[in-house]
Structures are given as C-alpha cells and as structure tokens.
Amino acid sequence: MHKLKVIVAVLGIFLSYLTPLYPSVAQQPAKPNIVYIIVDQWRAQATGYAGDKNVLTPNLDKLAARSINVKNAVSGMPVCTPHRASLLSGQYPLTTGVFMNDVMLDTAKTTLAKVYKKNGYTTGFIGKWHIDGHGRTSYIPENRRQGFEYWKALECTHNYNNSPYYAGNSPQQLFWEGYDAIAQATDASRFITDHAKKTNPFVLFVSMGPPHDPYQTAPEAYKKLYENKELQLNPNVPAEHREKVIKDLKGYYAHMTALDESIGKLWQTIRAAGIEKNTILVFTADHGDLLGAHGSWNKQQPYAESIKVPFLLHYPAAFGTTGKTSPILLNTPDIMPTLLGLSNIPIPASVEGVDFSRVLKGTQKDKVTHTLISCVQPFGQWHRGKGGREYRGLVTTQYTYVKDLQGPWLLFDNTKDPFQLNNLAGKAPYAETQKKLDNLLIASLKQRKDDFRPGMEYVRKWNYVVDETETVPYHKINYEGKPIVEQ
C-alpha cells in the first residue's frame, strides 16, 4: 500500500510537469451556462446605452457597462420566424426554407438546442416560439421542439395580458399571470436558481413578445412613466406621421421599461445563484421596428430601424466585467456558431454562419467585411400591394447597399448619414463605391447559391399557401396548406 501511494504521488508530480506542455492534460474549464434573452421587435437604437434619450432602460444600461456591446448586430431577414429559424440552425433562410412567418423549421435540422443537449446540457425554452407553423395557439409536441426539454411556450401571441402557453407534454392550455413577460422572467428565475445547483450546465432561452405592437398594452405603471414625457423624434420621421409616432413610441417605450426591469431581475438571479462568472448572458431581438421612420412601420424593410438589433454579450469568465464595444458584423446565422465557440463545442458542418468567438476574445483578427440582408417574399403589412419588394443587400461597418429585382435601390453612408436620409444609389460621386458594393453582393449571393428570383417562385418551390396579402394564413391552414383546428 505504501509503494502504491508513492507511485501515485510521483505520477501526480510527473503530470503536473506535463500540463504546460500538453494542455489537453490540464483540467478543462467548466462549460458555461447560457441565458439567451430574445425580445420581439426592439430596434438597436432604442436603449439608453445606445443614446436614446427618450427611453428608460437602467438595467440594460448597467449590463452594457459590463458587457460586450455588438453595435453592428444585424437581423439578416428582419421578420420573426425567419430570424428564429436561422438563430437555431445557423443557416440562411433560403437553406432552411423559412423566409416567411408561420412556416415550420424542419425538425430534422441540427439545431442549437440539440447540439448543446448532446454535449451534456439541460435545455429550456420559455415564451414565444414561432417556428412551428401549425397555428399560433396550437399545442407543440415534443418532437417539434428542436431539442428543448424544459418547455413553457406558445407559438405566438401579442395579447400580453391574457397570454396562453403549454407546459411540458400536456396539451392543456394555461395562461401566464398578468403581463406575460414579467411572469416568464419569474419562471426563468426559478429555472436558473434550480439548475445552478446541478452538475450539468444549462442553456435557457427566454423569448418575450413585447415591445412588438400592440404598443398600448404595457402595465399602467410603465405607461405612466411616458404619459407626459416630451419625446425627441428622429429626423427621418415625416411631419405628417409625428402624432401617431409619438403615441406609438410612448407605448413602445413603456413595454421596453417593463422588459428592462424583468431583465434586471434575471441578471440579479444569475448573480445571486453564484454562477455569473461562468454564464453567457445575451440580450437581443429578432428584428427592429420602423415606427414611422421613412413613413413606414414594423419590419421587413432594409432600413436601420428594421435590420439592426441590440446585442449585449455578458460573460465575465471570457470578457471580464468592463464594458466594451465590438464592431463585428454579427448576422443571425452567426449567433449559433459563436455561442458554440464560446462554449468550446465543435460546430456542426451544417452551420453556415461565422464563429466570432475568437474575434470577440481578441485571439483572432476579424476578416468579415460585409454581411447579407434580404427579403425573399414581402408579405403582410409590406406586401407588394403596399409597396413591398423583394431585395438582396449587404451591410458593412459604413454602408448599406440594397438591390431589388429592377436593380440598385438604396445606398446609404451610415457613418455620415445615420438616419439614412440621403440615398446615394445612382449618384455619380458614389459610382465607384456602388460598383464595389455591387460586386461584393453578387459574389456573396453566388456563394449562398441565391439567384435572386421573384418571391412567389420560392413560395411555390416550398409549397406554401398564401392569402391575398401573400401571407401564410396562420389561423386557417398549416405550412402544408392543410386545415388545422385551433386549440
């Protein structure tokens, strides 16, 4: 026995000398937990830390001061379902086939939750799902949850004060108590507290419906904060829309302040559980909201208010707690590989996005100079009858360049013209810049095997059925065009 102890001791000393030479012998760091907070239709400019003097976001401002602020985060197809499908698959919309709302992401896809689950994580999803395509209030069975285990979710609702959901494998419809985002944050806090005590790491998605319209439905306490507030409007809001924009913005901001408080509580839960250092906390949105900019509302369009989203990345173990700003062009398909990279998990071959984890850590140079934006098929509020158009474009750290089916449409110098008031497309002094950007766009589309055809060709290719507004009628049929019964 004495000889065995001596051998073990000598072996331990030997391994300690080997560790610096052979890092694989060293103890691997604990896998990080992930709390991913995604809200609906929150444009990047609308936070205190981003410079909006109208909105009250004290918790997000504090979080930004201790996080990486990805200031050029882009929703490459700024609509709910396409964003969520790309987020979970790491693929572009023409690969997933999810380029419209209310269609289903293929359940055979390799998704973020499936990969984390395979690597020993507990997975959870709370809130708005919106990639099932079987009706917005229908029960979603386990085999269509893309790898998420803990489940308190609904396909989609914007009735935030009478908000249904399904829990686990029960088809019984339940309702969140009060304003759903607050109740969802409370449930997420319980999940975090419970799982912080367990051995396995976890990934939890908290998907909140506000500040998406209807704008006037936040709790009264938050609405009162803006009731008599004088708002400063951006110069790209036409004078004839000012009255409506002011009314809508007050409700929009009220939702945001309510969410800000809930996000602050989630952050506090992470700290109280003692897991902040090794938890990746993300705050972001699926897309923005025009809210009167350029005389338009909602999303789909290629303007900054629609395509740019907030993206805060808080991970003290990797980035410390000093606030930083990153200029990376983070697009929706890039989120999955970047999270996997930060978690030291191999990235599946099916992923089309870029892993920015080493760039964010400062161990690799950023070589991404542009990223794609697109609208394959305009629908709903922006269908062709209301001026909607298919487009493909790209965003750099300085420019936004967009083509429709007729040719060049928009060119903005976002550095000199942040509110995109001066369209430079077709103007002689910018001909060389436009040509360079056009060549980049053509090469990028070729790489993506995107031949930029009329939107209805893609609708027919994927066998989607649309109504007169070219929208999949989510209350009547599912993604295959078959009748459904709402539950």
Catalytic residue (one of 83, 130, 255, 314): 130
- 373 backbone dihedrals φ, ψ, rounded to 5°: -130, 155
Q: Are 353 and 331 in contact (CB under 8 A)?
A: yes
Q: Locate 299 and state its tokens.
A: 């999303």
CA separation for the pair 295, 287 (Å, rounded) = 18
Q: Taking Cα atoms as reference points, which of 183, 62, 296 lies closest to residue 167?
A: 183
Q: Are 42 and 285 in contact (CB under 8 A)?
A: yes
The CB density around residue 452, as the number of other CB atoms within 10 Å, is: 16
Catalytic (active site) residue 195: no
CA separation for the pair 425, 403 (Å, rounded) = 10
Q: Taking Cα atoms as reference points, which of 37, 193, 60 lies closest to residue 128?
A: 37
Q: Are 317 and 280 in contact (CB under 8 A)?
A: no
Which residue, chain included where needed, has tokens 């009858």?
Answer: 385
The CB density around residue 180, as the number of other CB atoms within 10 Å, is: 25
Q: Locate 8 and state its tokens.
A: 């073990």
Q: Are 459 and 466 in contact (CB under 8 A)?
A: yes
Q: Are 81 and 131 in contact (CB under 8 A)?
A: yes
Tell me the DSSP string of 3-64.
Answer: HHHHHHHHHHHHHHHHHHH-GGGSPPPPPPEEEEEEEES--TT-STTTT-SS---HHHHHHH
- Helix (H) / strand (E) containing 464: none
CA separation for the pair 156, 149 (Å, rounded) = 19
Q: Are 137 and 154 in contact (CB under 8 A)?
A: yes
| Residue 298 CB-density burial (10 A; 0-12 exposed, 13-18 middle, 19+ buried) | buried
Catalytic (active site) residue 130: yes
Q: Are 405 and 390 in contact (CB under 8 A)?
A: yes
Q: Locate 149 and state its tokens.
A: 């285990």
Strands (E), 200-244: 202-211
The CB density around residue 228, as the number of other CB atoms within 10 Å, is: 7
Catalytic annotation, residues: 80, 130
